[in-house]
Chain A
């Protein structure tokens, strides 16, 4: 199984700050990583696919980068609606796996 390790587990920030969330894979997965946002009592929403490809309808303040084993989701100037849990997920292996999530909370 490809294990995805997300850090930090919790990130406390003030609205307006810019943040970077990390996802590290247990082996090289090229750019086969996808990022999701899940707000409380809602379904996950796809933010970024294949490490850096944007998704229609997602605000431009969300961006992704990385390849191999290290990936980053960046949020430029966090807004109040961004406080939620973020997951990475890999599709390099036929056994799809998710990271454990990073909770972005208000400081």
Chain B
């Protein structure tokens, strides 16, 4: 069974970088696309970007200057880095597999940006 699990700090200070890991089991990240999605307080959902089976990336233009998605195929993990965070980046962050729909999701990690 495909399983995804996010990990990373739950509290980040303003202006610092947010770094999250998505660990995937039951499926290789060298197939399909692997994305990051966040849900803000108030329920708005935002697609942040993805990394493909080949390692190419695509980002939401609203984040393009601050976001980086990378991977380690040997560990079957992919990563999110979001730079220069503000309180507006406070959200629950999910990783998910894209296969004609986001069909598998991690449990989500709540990240608060606060000093």
| Interface, chain A (partner B; CB < 8 A) | 34, 36, 43-46, 49-50, 55, 85, 87, 89, 91, 94-98, 100-101
- Check B94–A98 contact: CB distance below 8 A: no
Set B60, B96, B105, B106: member contacting A95, Cβ < 8 A = B60
> CA A98 – CA B46 in complex, angstroms?
7
> Which residues of chain B are within 8 angstroms of A45 by Cβ–Cβ distance?
105
- Check A94–B103 contact: CB distance below 8 A: no
| Interface, chain B (partner A; CB < 8 A) | 35, 43-47, 58, 60-61, 94, 96, 100-103, 105-108
Set A36, A50, A94: member contacting B102, Cβ < 8 A = A36
- Check B101–A43 contact: CB distance below 8 A: no
- Check A50–B100 contact: CB distance below 8 A: yes
